[in-house]
Structure 1
């Protein structure tokens, strides 16, 4: 009866001069439905509606269940309905097109419209088997059994050739250690390690931009060297570089997690693995037109084997760590201790290592690395212990800041040339670069001019290089002082370049000395 009333209403609106799009919008139905009813006569519509009443469809036994899902979650996709049916009724054998048409008809009958979102895709060439895995993180807020919001975080891996996927969830943000552990589980799940892994410039992988010189976190650098895969870091705001895993993140959110009720993390991860087996890796991929699980059976033969134990896992020692806050301080025993400006890295790894020696607090970036700051230990509470050298340069503007730095070098002409070249290469990070130079001048004042000469000679236009070379010269002098009888190191050698001395034939030496070869 409802379909017959709908038929009459459509015919009346058409006679009143409404266009098909207007009728569809007014009645909240699809334009295809409007066309279908307009092409029928009253007798044909009556016969068709009567035949529907006597014809039984494959999904009719699940009609009430599907209807309750659609009413509770109007944005539910037919693909998600299909997955939920297979999850609750494992023996059900139904195709995706059957579910789509059934859900579409139910939406028309019960006037449950679905919001259509347009997605943009870009065609790219397929990569060889075993070459690449793409990795990304996601988060979603869902309801638990008490109807309270729960925020969950997940990491996704996808083999670029077969589209074979792995997903793991946490109820808290991921750390670098979590990320490494999930990599190991993904490699076990895939049956091997690819040649290359694609990431965002994520703070779990990279240590921010380091004034323009991007570097990896210490833990992940050790892990990468141990496992021997290449890393490709996408540029920021460039999702096309890892479009496959971007689509997987959306797929996990919309097909698995959306509208699902959360009980606990263990059960949630178990359900996700079952979803991967049932849907995520089993359904035919729209682009490849193949099942990922079938292609993966071939691709895993091209992956590098996974060893059972990581050697670096046994060498990592637990230490006292603190997080650097955006105002470049750490909190230790109810007090705040300052760090040099620029220590805090937006979206970077802001973990530092803290140790106490007698009445002194020592802060390092790495467990045995360079000292970032030393402070007298404060036994009060709520105090700010600040080193004056950690304050911002108060000169007005970048130009004045440059002049302030240049005046501290003996050869100001060379200093001006160096800072000019740095500004060309790091225009967005010039203040950060100047801060690094100022810090290097303060810490290695006796060797900073010699380091500047090496940088200009070898065209090393980075504040980080200047600092590292000055630090190298300082350590060389400390070594010579402690070991006076040791062989002297040659001066003016760039420590960033490892060179091997060329050897000559004996005839060459004879010619140089003015003799003749026999």
Structure 2
């Protein structure tokens, strides 16, 4: 029974002739309560009840501000509200649980439902202090001051034991040199490095997993050797092995970057480092139930010292990895650049470098072979194409097949093979012919003939297979030539040996042996 109902009940019982003592007994309250209610008129009682409806709270002065945040960003967490309040009002002394309760009450009162996107992780034991650091990349899209959108990229580090974090942002894609510089800055932030660093299979660091044998990018391999980094790369589709950094990347996106307005990259990084000290490394960790910076004070003593300085600017090249698209192009700075036909079938990724003369150099990361060069234009949304990367559209398919067949000694056999290729790849036959034409360029007739026979024998009817068989035949011939060279190295005979070989033995007549037998 609320206070207004009790007041009305007391009034009714009084009219029925009950004394104040009997009313108190009947309602289960004290006589003082009955007496206090009877002293108030109905209007006074209504005013008093209204005053009790809402008790003044510590966060009331910030109510409209918090409501504006929640209405603009319904998925905003109470933890982020708490961080934003601390950022805006540095003298504010309030606990996170108070903010959480207040935000919950505002959501219920103003019907602002929270949008959620849960994500699950598997728990793994913490490594010892100073043992492991995890590294990963992330990106966000932020609203700018002029109401546009900017894509920002960041690299994040976390010590697996203490959960101490570090991060850096760029308003452009990371290069390998940027990654190396971020490592150097992180080592300074932590005051050392761990025994092991765990990475995802990012193309700025790893070219290929190669069945467990890592092939690193040239620049990062050089940095790894000079810095003595013991690295471990997670297998694909294995997020649990780097769950700590996955959580950190999500935490940075949800708590720091979400709904924040971007002005420029310098202020964005400065605000980010303040956030690390204020929230990222100060807030009690949900798993360890400790503040990361407090545990880090102990873990810091177990880190390996990093003493010598490395000249990043002069020792490491700038290279950026790019995915090869189905149309044999890559994308760079909102433009598309063509690659030789068939590149998509051979390579998933290539590396690019921008020269001082505004030229884009595209090369294969593990061999360094340059496959294309383009001038970088001023505009955006353009296709920059080399004429050499186009099909020969002046010929029909039949004429094109004849042209390619002319490259072989046995033209009829070649024509038969190319028709099989056409039958298997009807939509891409011109691409296939272009690749075969390129693969046979500068190759002698013997290699072409053997490769053609091998493809027909093994029923390999594609241009990429044909190129692989050519490479195979060339290797086999090299091995054969090596064996012949070794046979030629047998020691020659000297003059005496040659004289002995040329000497003819004396032959006796048969009669000589017959006479001797008759004597016996």
- Asked if TM exceeds 0.5, the reply is yes
Change in Cα spacing, 1:116 to 1:296, as seen in structure 2 (3 Å) is same
1:125/1:432 Cα in 2 relative to 1: closer, same or farther (>3 Å)? Answer: farther
In structure 1, the partner of 2:476 is 448
Shift of 1:127: 0.6
Q: State the number of aligned residues.
A: 377
Is residue 323–residue 352 contact of structure 1 (8 Å, CA) maintained in 2? Answer: no
How far off is 1:345 after superposition?
3.1
The reply to whether residue 248 of structure 1 matches residue 248 of structure 2 is yes
Q: Aligned partners of 1:322 and 1:120: how far apart in 2?
A: 30
Residue 352 (structure 2) pairs with residue 351 (structure 1): yes
Task: Quote how far apart the aligned CAs of 1:234 are.
Answer: 1.7
Q: CA deviation at 1:128?
A: 0.8
> Does the alignment pair 1:301 with 2:287?
no
Q: Provide Cα deviations, 1:252-292, integer angstroms capped at 9, x if missing partner.
A: 11111111111111111111110000000000101011110
| 1:190-211, Cα deviation, whole Å (9 max, x unpaired) | 1111122222211111124679
- Are 2:143 and 2:260, in contact at CA under 8 Å, matched by a contact in 1? yes
Q: Secondary structure at 1:338's aligned position in 2?
A: coil
Q: For 1:70-89, what per-residue CA distance to the aligned partner results, in whole angstroms no more than 9, with x for missing partners?
A: 22222211101100111111
Cα RMSD for the two superposed structures: 4.8
Q: Is the 8 A contact 1:320 1:353 kept in 2?
A: no
Contact 1:206 1:214 in 2 (8 A): yes
Secondary structure in 1 matching 2:215: coil
Secondary structure at 1:122's aligned position in 2?
A: coil
Please report the TM-score for the alignment, with normalisation by the length of structure 2.
0.60
Distance 1:219 1:103, change over 3 A: same
Q: Give the drift of 1:58.
A: 1.8
Alignment correspondent of 1:500:
none
Which residue of 2 is the match for residue 143 of structure 1?
Answer: 143
CA distance in 1, matches of 2:180, 2:169: 14
1:155 alignment partner, SS class: strand
Whole-Å separation in 2 of the counterparts to 1:121 and 1:222: 34
Q: Structure 1 length normalisation: TM-score?
A: 0.60
> What's the CA shift string for 1:143-202, capped at 9, x where partnerless?
112222222111111111111111111111212121111111111111111122222211
Question: Does structure 1 residue 280 correspond to structure 2 residue 280?
Answer: yes
Contact 2:180 2:220 in 1 (8 A): yes
Shift of the 397–306 alpha-carbon distance from structure 1 to 2, 3 Å rule, reads farther
Match of 2:177 in 1: 177
User: C-alpha displacement at 1:408, in angstroms?
Assistant: 3.8
Contact 2:319 2:352 in 1 (8 A): no
Q: Using the alignment, how far apart are the partners of 1:242 and 1:162 within structure 2?
A: 15
The structure with more radius of gyration: 2
Residue 58 of structure 1 corresponds to 58
Q: CA separation of 1:318/1:94 partners in 2, compared to 1, >3 Å: closer, same or farther?
A: closer
Task: Look up the SS of the partner of 2:207 in the other structure.
Answer: coil
- Give, in angstroms, the shift of residue 327 of structure 1: 5.5
Note closer, same or farther for the CA distance 1:432–1:259 as it changes in structure 2 (3 Å cut): farther
Separation in 1 of the partners of 2:114 and 2:319? Answer: 53
